[in-house]
């Protein structure tokens, strides 16, 4: 699914915050530098900006930095050099996240994402496929809900939502959702309500 190129912040603003995170001015962003920059850029996860973040917020920060390093750290030294392609990759990663964090999916896009969750193409969404679906939709969960429960990483909360989705959608109680019938419509309605709540 395509997302807009930039979120509410302009690319130059994001770039400046990332460059300013170079705490010792050596042209290298360490894991700690990247985490601090991402904390400044985290409009929907205020816990990351607290001086003493909670355990879950700290875990969230480490997770995002690990993801960022996977796509940007080309020489696998655990850092990102500002003067080369590594920094461009890191910047693109953050701009894409910025877009995801602020963008609201339409109902048609939600239907397409749910259909796409059928990884084996059998027309049935298993519980495992629905769990992955909820993980993929995490960036689109409203900020208010993420503030309450850091939905993106809180596996317990996500499992509860999957159970709730199955309870509402799974008409024949076989533990799956069939795409070609009312079960699919029920799941779409559940996900739309989850993602569009204020």
List, in order, residues 6 or more apart from 101 with CB less than 8 Å away.
7, 43, 44, 139, 143
Per the CB < 8 A criterion, the answer to whether 170 and 177 are in contact is: yes
Q: Which CATH number, 3.40.50.10470, 3.30.70.1520, 1.20.1510.10, 1.10.238.10, labels domain 107-196?
A: 1.10.238.10
What stretches of the chain show up as alpha helix (H) in DSSP?
11-20, 31-40, 55-72, 85-102, 107-116, 127-137, 143-149, 155-169, 182-196
Helix or strand holding residue 93 (H, E): helix 85-102
The pLDDT of residue 82: 94
Separation of first and last alpha carbons in the chain: 23
- The confidence score (pLDDT) of residue 76 equals 92
Whole-number pLDDT of residue 27 = 94
- Quote the CA–CA distance of 11 and 30 in Å, as a whole number: 21
Q: How far apart are CA 40 and CA 46, in angstroms?
A: 9
Position 40 scores a pLDDT of: 78
Q: Please give the pLDDT value at position 155.
A: 61
> What parts of the chain have a pLDDT lower than 70?
1-9, 42-62, 98-103, 138-158, 197-198
80: which strand partners?
29
Q: What is the DSSP letter of 46?
A: G
Query: What pTM, to 2 d.p., does this model score?
Result: 0.50
Q: Which pLDDT belongs to residue 85?
A: 94
Same fold, 11-102 and 107-196: yes
- Identify the CATH number of the domain defined by range 11-102: 1.10.238
- Classified as helix, coil or strand, 99 is helix
Residues 6-28 pLDDT 10s: 344 578 888 898 899 998 999 99
Tally of CB atoms within 10 A around 66 = 11
* CB-based contact 20:26 (threshold 8 Å): no
153-174 pLDDT, tens digit each:
456 566 778 889 999 999 999 9
Domain boundaries, the chain: 11-102, 107-196
Residue 37 class from Cβ within 10 Å (0-12 exposed, 13-18 middle, 19+ buried)? buried
pLDDT the model gives residue 149: 46
């Amino acid at each position: 699914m395509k997302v807009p190129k930039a979120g509410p912040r302009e690319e130059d603003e994001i770039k400046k915050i990332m460059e300013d995170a170079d705490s010792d001015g050596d042209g290298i962003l360490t894991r700690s530098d990247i985490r601090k920059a991402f904390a400044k850029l985290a409009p929907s996860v205020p816990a990351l900006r607290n001086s003493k973040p909670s355990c879950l917020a700290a875990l969230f920060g480490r997770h995002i930095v690990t993801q960022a390093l996977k796509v940007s750290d080309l020489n696998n030294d655990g850092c990102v050099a500002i003067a080369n392609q590594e920094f461009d990759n890191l910047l693109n990663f953050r701009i894409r996240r910025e877009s995801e964090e602020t963008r609201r999916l339409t109902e048609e896009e939600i239907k397409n994402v749910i259909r796409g969750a059928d990884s084996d193409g059998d027309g049935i969404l298993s519980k495992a496929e629905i769990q992955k679906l909820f993980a993929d939709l995490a960036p689109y969960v409203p900020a208010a809900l993420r503030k309450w429960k850091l939905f993106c990483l809180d596996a317990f909360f996500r499992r509860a939502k999957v159970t709730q989705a199955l309870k509402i959608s799974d008409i024949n109680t076989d533990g799956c959702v069939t795409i070609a019938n009312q079960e699919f419509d029920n799941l779409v309605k559940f996900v739309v309500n989850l993602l569009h709540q204020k």
